[in-house]
Amino acid sequence: MRTRLALTGATGNVGRRILDGLAAGGSRDLVAISRSTSRAVGVGAATVQRKVADYADRAALTVALDGVETLIFIASDDEASSMLVHHLNVIDAAAAARVGHVVYLSSLDADPGSPFCYAGVHAETERRIARSGIAFSIARVSLYGEFFAQWPLAAIGTGELRLPAADGAISLISRNDVADCLIALADQPASGSVALLTGGQAYDLDGVTELTAQCSETSIRAIDLSPAEYRMQVVRDGVSPWWAYAFGTMFAAIREQRFSEVTDKVAGLLGRPPTPFRNVLEGLLPSSHRQ
């Protein structure tokens, strides 16, 4: 019997990977929900029904979720206050549409007391899902290796990895692993529990620097900035005010070791070890630095 599964954020980096994985299985009717139709959804996925519903439009979300049994809920990527409104809209729409199981992509740092600007949003979203009456599974995910790689990749050109990380470590996880784990959670009965998804190793600033130097065959040194020095640096680099603030709070959380935990949950869900950050980094290296 075919089931109906929906995915929010279907045009995002993780969303596209999930759709490709789900479409390859062929046992479901898929609903890809995105803010617009301007971007392709699901490469070669003829079974995918595309629905336009902005996170800010609760009514459109409710219509898009009609008849859906399982929802993979990818977090919004807006500023924190807007992000929470978006998440509450998705939860209310899922409840109104009588969705049976929500798989929510949360953050490894979902502590409302964290300095990370998105931690409180994830904490409140989790709380609202638990109170909604919908069966759920929550995946708290460490930082994406592909996202974090922007800093070591830039360091290949400058020779310096300049970050306010102190001795904080990060268990970087690949987006492909996250996508595969969310599919696995959607395939299982709702657990009502939290899965901590991390890479297989946590790297501090020196570790990231050493790995980047090895992969690129480039001399790089680590420079631990103070938060104030980092703020000055991102202003000089032209980073927008919101993202300058968001990155600063993320590194504050890293310094508090909020992304350092390493678990075996990826292996438990997928039957294989998580993708090493080395593999992610090597896949993103400029062609001139690939071995």
Report the pLDDT value the prediction gives residue 288, as an integer from 0 to 100: 63
**Token pair for residue 203?**
């790297």
For residue 217, tell me if it sits in a domain: no
pLDDT at site 290? 59
In a domain, 291, yes or no: no
Instruction: Output the pLDDT for position 36.
Output: 73
Residue 85 domain boundaries: 3-143+174-198+262-270
pLDDT value at residue 163: 98
pLDDT for res 289: 64
pLDDT the model gives residue 42: 47
Q: Look at residue 96 and tell me if it is in a domain.
A: yes
| Domain count along the chain | 1
Whole-angstrom CA distances from 77 to 71, 128, 147, 242, 289 are 18, 18, 13, 12, 31
pLDDT in tens, the chain (291 residues): 578 999 999 999 999 999 999 887 767 889 999 987 644 454 444 468 999 999 999 999 999 999 999 999 999 988 999 999 999 999 999 999 999 999 999 999 999 999 999 999 999 999 999 999 999 999 999 999 999 999 999 999 999 999 999 999 999 999 999 999 999 999 999 989 999 999 999 999 999 999 999 999 999 999 999 999 999 999 999 999 999 999 999 999 999 999 999 999 999 999 999 999 999 999 999 876 655
**265 to each of 105, 143, 205, 280, 282, how far by Cα in Å?**
14, 15, 25, 19, 24
**Helix or strand (DSSP H, E) at 34:** strand 28-34
What is the reported pLDDT for 43? Answer: 46
- With vertex at residue 66, the alpha carbon angle to CA 64 and CA 70, rounded to the nearest 5 degrees, is 90
Residue 118 located in a structural domain: yes
Q: Which CATH number characterizes residue 69's domain?
A: 3.40.50.720
Does the residue 155 lie in any domain?
no
